[in-house]
Structure 1
Amino acid sequence: MTRLGLSPLAWLDEVETRRRAAGLRRFLRARPPVGAELDLASNDYLGLSQHPRVLDGGVAALRAWGAGSTGSRLVTGNTELHESFEDALAEFVGAASALVFSSGYTANLGAVVALSGPGSLLVSDALTHASLVDACRLSRARVVVTPHADVSAVDAALAARTEERAVVVTDSVFSADGDLAPLRALHEVSRRHGALLIVDEAHGLGVRGDGGRGLLHEMGLAGAPDVVMTTTLSKALGSQGGVVLGPVAVRDHLIDAARPFIFDTGLAPAAVGAAHAALQVLVDEPGRAQRVLDHAAALASMCGVDDVPPSAVVSVILGEPDVALAAAAACLERGVRVGCFRPPTVPAGTSRLRLTARASLTDDEMVLARRVLTDVLSPA
């Protein structure tokens, strides 16, 4: 029975109360164009979002093509700029082709859903990014979620399948912990069972591999006919957008079948121009990738993390949400901005500070980071 006079959104008040009590309420905080704090929270791994060449690339595209792409890429939103960037990125990572989407999220939705579907099996790592989780849910395929980095569980799921087609889905670098997927072993298992391997290189591009070409390239899997790579332009390349890279047949199929590509407005030219310029900076300065890893190792040492990070991400697990929030606030008060990850982003009991290294960190910034992090994280 309908309750007269009761708002259909009244239940949100109770939800918010529970979130506040658990320390899980989230807030938007606007930042200035140039922050006064040292930024150890963003995903601008190569420090290119403010690079003069990248800004010039975005401005030039803006002036040439306008503020927006004006439509979906199948109608009026496709430009020569989009296609030249696709060619350049595919060549850089060793893929046969590339297709630009409006975001990394939509790239994952488009690739996973269009390459699976009813009557197929999706095998997904338990810690894959939310965009891959949502893609699996939307696919209408049968989904098996395997324990994190458990190749034997992937093998068992593929061996037991009754479906004709199967797809294995994983991040290359996991966003919360910064650890690496066992890509060679996953590819071997996938190939043995005739499954496609889709790898999200959002946190691998620009950081892992020769000159930042990604973990797939580092593992010798670039251009493999049974591997599809997705990535974002909003992290190492300092811009916005997403890309799916793989065999030409995959690109052709996505143009026909990927709903986030067909029905979404094309990526704005300014974002494409900025990403293209950032890619050229990376080509010209391949040492940026190693500097990210060097700075990540130094940050981990400052935080008392024993293992050397294999990526830009330094994860400092503190336990409960309120403890992590307090530590992040203390860092900010001292002039250092760090990320704070709480459930549901990470499992209960593993709330943490998430620090990210940048290639562009200066010696003075690293001195400040050491002073603040040592002060905040040292036992009382």
Structure 2
Amino acid sequence: MDYYFDKVAILEMIYIFFYSKKSFKNINFFKRSLVLFLIFFSIQWIDITRYFSILDYRSTGEIFFELRNIAFFLDASLLLDLVGISFFSIFFIFSITLLYIFLDYEKTKSIYEDQKKIAAISSALEIQESENRYFKEIQYLVHDLKTPLFSINTLIEILSIQEENPKKLEYLGKISNSLERCNIMISEILRDTNKNYLKIRKIFDFIFSYLSIHNCIHSIKLCNYCPDSKIKVNKIVFSRAIINLILNSYDAIQNKENANITIKVKDYINFIIISIEDNGIGMSEEVLQQISTNKKFSTKNSSGIGLNFVKTVIEEHDGKLFVSSKKNVGTQFYILLKKGEVNEKK
């Protein structure tokens, strides 16, 4: 049998071309193949008619050629044409109808998926908006606390000027320092994002003024090798992060002989490295792993939230925090920060 690449094959190729342009993500392979089979089957039926082949019956293939000859001798060519066109119409219409059903289902499914994505995005935005509104309300509330704290601090300063009793002055000083810590915590909650270029000396002067009434001050040794170098930081938030590390180190050196905390600040060309080292109880590998994966952990005097806060602050300042520790030997925290611009005036 010879096969002739005739107009039927051309029609099928045209249909395959348009069919391949459609994207079916939700219609399985069996359903797509069924439509394709019905189209081909319907087109083949018109090949037995007299009207489809313009050149020669033999161009349609040997079987159809013999079938047409038999119909001609039986004087049934018209009946053969009618049968061919009828079956073509039935199967073609059915296949096209099925195709449109599948396309409509595909379109409906795509719209549903798009609406589902939009709903998810909308829900996330609503949650974020709610959280932002809640956070703003907290900010307003905390901000309002500054006014009474300022008034109390002013009254304490007036009382300190008028008071001569050393014991009362000591108590007034402790109250003033407590108010200062409250102000720092309020600033931490408000989390002012403004950053300025500050000298290392000014930052540590502020830190030590905060720690002046804490017992850890007697165990700290500061080696600042670059007091006039500058880094771009938020003074309150960054200082709070350093204070957290110092207090963590102080917790670790409790009940240890020759306990000490050494802070070193060094200038390495374009970077400033701040190291905080202690000879305390150290940390296990498990705790170090939790720190590296940003998980909260528990220690004797801490919930672990402080160190996560420190990491967040350092990252917000485009810096990096490294931790090295050995059990019963000590812990070292290293902070790597970019050095400030030389031409900054502040």
Q: Which has the higher contact order (CA 8 A, sep 6+)?
A: 1
Instruction: Give the structure with the larger helix fraction.
Output: 2
Note whether the superposition's TM-score is higher than 0.5.
no
TM-score by length of 2: 0.22
